[in-house]
Amino acid sequence: MTKLSVNINKIATLRNSRGGDVPNVVQFAKDVQHFGAQGVTIHPRPDQRHIRYQDAHDLKPVVYTEYNIEGNPIDSFIKLVLEVKPTQVTLVPDAVDAITSNAGWDTIKHKGFLKEVIKEFRQNNIRTSIFVDPDLKQIEGAKITGTDRIELYTEAFAHQYSLGNKNAITPYFESAVLANKLGLGINAGHDLSLDNILFFKENIPSLLEVSIGHALIVESLYLGIENVVQMYLHKLK
């Protein structure tokens, strides 16, 4: 079964919009795990406009499934991850002012930097994953960095699938085949939803984990969070 990690950034965005502590991100993390989610993902950004660095610390004692922290490995992020020691760190090349993630790493251009960062995380027993586009050269570059896994950036697939283009899965399938051959674990995320997750999962060999936030929270506004988590789990079996 492919594991479901729920990204709870949107819960923090809602909390921050009123300046209080409702909804409480720690309680929400407890709840989604209770409902069956096999992981919790957060993506703190330098401006802390949704998840705050303190949230990362507060969540540590309550995430008993997989704890995944995503972000650009700037100095403050590296320090945070080494303090919290989550199950997994996912390295994402965000610009400081990015609204959301919009590209994978150039693993060839940034090979030296990524190798250095990944080595430090692995020495601290933190599993590493690199956010990458479905490009075979970038998958090969990821292997050289020493990362444990890659996370396939799935926005392009999701957009094309919504237009009826199922062939959009092809580069992701080819990337997954190569990653498996190279011994890299495969995660995926960005714009995956109840509409496309089953098709994606059925066509990606050895998909270990998906990280889903925005779509899952939006769907939950209509269907309820416990029900939506169960719907994802059913499709990911």
pLDDT value of residue 170: 98
pLDDT value of residue 5: 98
Average pLDDT over residues 84-113: 84
Whole-number percent of the chain with pLDDT over 90:
93
pLDDT in tens, 39-74: 999 999 988 889 999 999 999 999 999 999 999 999
Query: If you ran DSSP here, which 8-state letter would residue 80 be given?
Result: H
pLDDT value of residue 101: 56
Least confident of 24-33, 44-53, 78-87, 160-169: 44-53
pLDDT value of residue 94: 77
Judge whether 43 counts as a catalytic residue: yes
> Which residues form the domain of 182?
3-236
pLDDT in tens, 177-215: 999 999 999 999 999 999 999 999 999 999 999 999 999
pLDDT in tens, 79-88: 999 999 999 9
99 pLDDT above the threshold of 50: no
The rounded mean pLDDT for the chain is: 95
Judge whether 202 counts as a catalytic residue: no
- DSSP labels, 81-133: HHHH--SEEEE----TT-SS------TTTTHHHHHHHHHHHHHTT-EEEEEE-
**Given the residues 50, 66, 151, 190, the one annotated as active site:** 190
Domain count, the chain: 1
36 pLDDT above the threshold of 70: yes
25-34 and 9-18 helices cross at what angle (nearest 10)? 150
Domain of 91, CATH number, reads 3.20.20.70
The amino acid present at 163, given as its one-letter code, is L
**Given the residues 50, 66, 70, 209, the one annotated as active site:** 70
CA dihedral over 138, 143, 145, 148, signed as positive or negative: positive
114 pLDDT above the threshold of 70: yes
Please state, in angstroms and rounded to a whole number, the distance separating the CA atoms of residues 21 and 23.
Answer: 6
pLDDT value of residue 102: 61
pLDDT in tens, 123-156: 999 999 999 999 999 999 999 999 999 999 999 9
Q: How confident is the model at residue 2 (pLDDT cuts 50, 70, 90)?
A: very high
Judge whether 214 counts as a catalytic residue: no
96 pLDDT above the threshold of 70: no
pLDDT value of residue 46: 87
In the three-class reduction of DSSP (H, G, I as helix; E, B as strand; rest coil), residue 204 is classed as coil
Measured at the CA of 233, the angle between CA 229 and CA 235, to 5 degrees, comes to 120
Alpha helices in the chain (DSSP H): 9-18, 25-34, 53-59, 75-84, 111-123, 136-145, 155-162, 170-182, 197-203, 214-223, 225-236
**Given the residues 43, 50, 151, 219, the one annotated as active site:** 43
